[in-house]
Amino acid sequence: MSHQKLNLTLKVWRQINAESRGTFEEYKVAVSPDSSFLEMLDDINNELERKNLEPITFESDCREGICGTCGLVINGQPHGPIPRIATCQLHMRNFKEGDTIYIEPFRAKAFPIIKDLMVDRSAMDRIMEAGGFISVNTGSVPDGNAIPIPKDIASESMDAASCIGCGACVAACKNASAMLFVSAKVSQFALLPQGQPERYRRVESMVKVMDEYGFGSCSNTYACEAECPKGISIKNIARMNRDYFMAKLKTENLEA
């Protein structure tokens, strides 16, 4: 471990709840370049608690870039300046001596602030509940090769399934759109034979819930893909749009 310390100024967003008025509070820190961003926040909170002051509320869990709950906006970028990582994987060596770092929560109408840097992302859970499943026959485990799937299709499905639902795409979009997230969850099933029975009902249901929670429409700026820690492709949005169009055609034909 390096004994050198970085002297930094942090501007951290503090807000009691969604109804209260928030503001940036300043903290001066000396931190090891080997510390992760969340370890730095832990150290600040330890110091605040020693002084009987209110610690900074932020969300974190796995600290391995898997769960997505650690999402913060750092100097205007969801998850910070390093591409393809979550906030928990960001280390302080990526900043320079004397830097000022602004730390904010993910901002979107659909992500109301709970406190400080923690937001309520349960809207994304509701979207998954609307269509993130397939129909299967119960019974014995089917043979792994019973339904042959081309490797390129399986890989594309797995790429879509790697979305961790962190909401960085929403925070990056000027319209706070969840299209990249929803399209990834639609695509991971739409590409596979097992996902075909609900394919069009799924996309209608998930888009409906997305709209109900107030996510915006796609801005076509590719900001979502650029900030996604898993590099989810916007090709999934095009696939979802095609499926949604087909779903509406099928609905209209049934009603005709």
Q: Which has more pLDDT, 142 or 43? A: 43
pLDDT for 173 beyond 90:
yes
Q: What is the pLDDT of residues 104-123, one digit of tens each?
A: 999 999 999 999 999 999 99
- The whole-angstrom separation of Cα 215 and Cα 220 is 15
**Average model confidence (pLDDT) for the chain?**
93
Q: Which two tokens stand for residue 34?
A: 């080997």
Compute the average pLDDT of residues 125-130: 97
Among 18-22, 44-48, 131-135, the range scoring the smallest mean pLDDT is 131-135
Compute the average pLDDT of residues 157-184: 97
Among 74-83, 127-136, 165-174, the range scoring the smallest mean pLDDT is 127-136
pLDDT for 187 beyond 80:
yes
- The whole-angstrom separation of Cα 234 and Cα 222 is 7
- Confidence (pLDDT) at 251: 76
Among 107-116, 139-148, 187-196, 211-220, the range scoring the smallest mean pLDDT is 139-148
Q: Can you list the domains of the chain with their CATH numbers?
A: 6-114 (3.10.20.30), 122-136+144-255 (1.10.1060.10)
- Confidence (pLDDT) at 253: 65
Of 117, 229, 134, 133, residue with least CA distance to 180: 229
pTM of the model: 0.92
Q: Which has more pLDDT, 51 or 1? A: 51
Instruction: Note whether 233 and 159 are within 8 A (CB).
Output: yes
- Confidence (pLDDT) at 177: 98
- Confidence (pLDDT) at 142: 67
Angle at 157 between CA 237 and CA 168, to 5 degrees: 50
pLDDT for 20 beyond 80:
yes
- Confidence (pLDDT) at 144: 62
Query: Predicted confidence band at 61 (pLDDT cuts at 50, 70, 90)?
Result: confident
- Confidence (pLDDT) at 140: 75
Compute the average pLDDT of residues 197-222: 96
**Pairing between strand 113-115 and 77-78?**
unpaired
